[in-house]
Amino acid sequence: MRLLAEKDLPTYQHSLRVGALCKRMAAYLHLDEQQTSQLVQGGCLHDIGKVGIPDGILNKTSPLTPGDWAFIRQHPEVGTTIMLEHGDVDKEIIEIIQYHHERWNGEGYPHGLKGYEIPVFARICAIIDTYDSMVSDRPYRRGLSFEEAEQELLRHSGTQFDSYYVDLFLNLFHTVGVNPISQELHE
């Protein structure tokens, strides 16, 4: 994580928020201690492969070119390689890093997995990753409100995301009363 913080502070902060939301989701799902740890660590490390993306692409405020996107799309594989070289890392954490951009309908990357081929923690992390990206301010746009982000998640439920976990994630906010855009997560 130190490498990511030094390379790209906004991605590092995003990763911490994703990890914090993964922890809340794990509690909501009543995951055991080991599963909670795996989901939280995977959430924190999901974008670790961005350390291999050129700074000019990571910090770009104009639209990305097809070549830029080719670099961005490599980060799950780069992250997987980094973690496998790191040593003893749980398979579930590696799966989150590798598969968090796979899509329920098979149109994601890097492997085009679909539906239940995508490991469950990667499916959960994909929702949380996208949610935090939508509600966070970027140099080129303001973040969406919770209501706007909720509508986007629902719009992509069953195509980009596993609808079961979209519903559970949104229920976390509606029934448990978790502040969806918590100030402590954005500091």
Angstrom distance (rounded) from CA 160 to CA 145: 20
> In this predicted structure, what is the pLDDT of residue 87?
84
Q: Please name the residues in contact with 174: beta carbons below 8 A apart, sequence gap of 6 or more.
A: none
pTM: 0.92
> In this predicted structure, what is the pLDDT of residue 70?
95
What are the domain boundaries of the chain?
2-186
CA proximity to 131, closest of 106, 156, 97, 158: 156
The list of the chain residues with pLDDT below 70 reads 177-187
> In this predicted structure, what is the pLDDT of residue 158?
98
Q: Tell me the per-residue pLDDT of 10-20, one tens digit each, with 9 for 90 and over.
A: 899 999 999 99
CA proximity to 19, closest of 132, 99, 108: 132
> In this predicted structure, what is the pLDDT of residue 76?
98
Angstrom distance (rounded) from CA 139 to CA 134: 13
Q: Which CATH superfamily is domain 2-186 in?
A: Hypothetical protein af1432 (1.10.3210.10)
**DSSP letters spanning 140-187:** TBPPPPHHHHHHHHHHHBTTTB-HHHHHHHHHHHHHH---TT-GGGG-
CA proximity to 161, closest of 110, 111, 108, 112: 108
Q: Tell me the per-residue pLDDT of 115-149, one tens digit each, with 9 for 90 and over.
A: 999 999 999 999 999 999 999 887 777 889 889 99
